[in-house]
Amino acid sequence: MVLRKIKNIGLLIAYVMSIYIFFPDNVYAMHIMEGFLPFNWAAFWWIAMIPFIIAGVRSIKKTVALHPNLKMLLGMAGAFAFVLSALKIPSVTGSCSHPTGVGLGTILFGPTAMTVLGMIVLIFQALLLAHGGITTLGANTFSMGIVGPFVSYGIYKGLKKLGAPQWLSIFMAATLGNLMTYVTTSIQLGLAFPAASGGVTAAILKFMGIFAFTQVPLAISEGLLTVMVFNILTAYSQKELQVLTAFTGKTISSIKQGVKA
Amino acid sequence: MKLFSKNMIILAFVALLSFFPLYIARDAEFGGADGQASEAISELNADYTPWFESFWEPPSGEVESFLFALQAAVGSGFVFYYIGYSKGKHSLNKRDQA
């Protein structure tokens, strides 16, 4: 079992290496910088973000009202996103980027809760670190707090339904959610800056070369770290996980069985 | 396998993933600026000028790294506080049951 796990991870590393060989550009990958989206697009993403924020605040309120003892776990999910967003990790493309850390909270509390927490992290970085921006907050929240978490949630649910092991579902959910965040960033920039020849598609591909490929090893790191935290939660926070099962369906049932056995 | 050793193996892979790029792409700059994306934007649309500036920028690389370190420290402080808290609660429960 453990050997198989190691073999799988080895295969993933080989995959990353091959990506490095094919896309050796020296690139940077981050959120969209302040002022770097034309006004109309910035406004569009802000408006697109608002319904998710409202739904997120409601979902968090509901969680906290029903289960006040989950407040700490919610804070922990937010803190996890906070740490991971601060870690700019070198990538195989010769530049740095950072994980988003929203996969963990998504699996625990659902995607919209992480829209709110993700936005808080982005506001902090925009105001204090000049990283990302307030005008581009809508677009960045849409990629990191909406697309990422919804992809993670869908993949987690889907893999669970297919009967995949818990750790694999968590790993894939966090990894692909992170990757899709940066694919979304590329699409957002491509839409705003279509190329003279090739239009939107060419521009999207160009930005994807910058944003998405750097992200692959980081996405894997994020997946691994999320699995690590889940291992700890499984061992020490059974009660909380079981309460959460009540309103996210039977997503965590296999953890429960694992401990009883 | 025990929780600790399982997580240490995972952590080793994360460390490997974070440090082997430094070895592989030895000549790269590993820049943290968002320069490449803005370069790509000016290539695609030479007339574009950012229409909004950040309210405040860290005055130097030192201040910026201080703020990033602070962000990581505050975040991990809470994460590990929670882990310690739930571990303590867990072992207390186990002792009560025994």
Taking one residue from A and the other from B, the number of pairs with CB-CB distance under 8 angstroms is 197
Higher pLDDT, B89 or B45: B89
Residues 95-124, chain A: which have Cβ within 8 Å of B? 95-96, 124
Cβ–Cβ under 8 Å, residues A210 and A186: yes
pLDDT for position A17: 46
Question: DSSP characters for A16-70?
Answer: HHHHHHH--------SPPTT-S-HHHHHHHHHHHHHHHHHHHHHHHHHHHH-GGG
Pairing state between β A89-90 and A96-97: antiparallel
If one counts the domains in chain B, the total is 1
Residue A106 and residue A79 in contact, taking contact as beta carbons nearer than 8 Å:
no
CA distances from A160 to A37, A109, A165, A166, A247 (A): 38, 16, 7, 7, 16
CB A132 within 8 A of CB A33: yes
State the residue range of the domain holding B91: 3-97
Which stretches within chain A are classed as H helix?
2-22, 39-66, 71-86, 103-109, 111-129, 137-141, 148-161, 166-192, 199-236, 238-245, 253-260
Whether A242 has its CB under 8 Å from any CB of chain B: the answer is no
Give A87's contacts in chain B (Cβ within 8 Å): 72
Domains observed in chain A:
33-86+93-249 (1.10.1760.20)
* ipTM of model: 0.85
pLDDT band at B31 (very low <50, low <70, confident <90, very high): low
Contact list, B78 vs chain A (CB under 8 Å):
75-76, 79, 82
pLDDT at A219 over 80: yes
| Measured distance CA(A239)–CA(A195) in Å, rounded | 53
Global pTM value: 0.82
- Given this model, what pLDDT does residue B76 score? 95
Q: What confidence tier does A128 reach under pLDDT thresholds 50, 70, 90?
A: confident
List, for residues A170-181, the tens digit of each pLDDT value. 999 999 999 999
Chain A residue numbers with beta carbons less than 8 Å from the beta carbon of B32 are 28, 30, 88, 96
- Residues for chain A: how many in total? 261
Summarised one tens digit per residue, pLDDT across range A106-121 is 999 999 999 999 999 9
Of A179, A86, A186, A10, whose CA–CA distance to B41 is shortest? A186
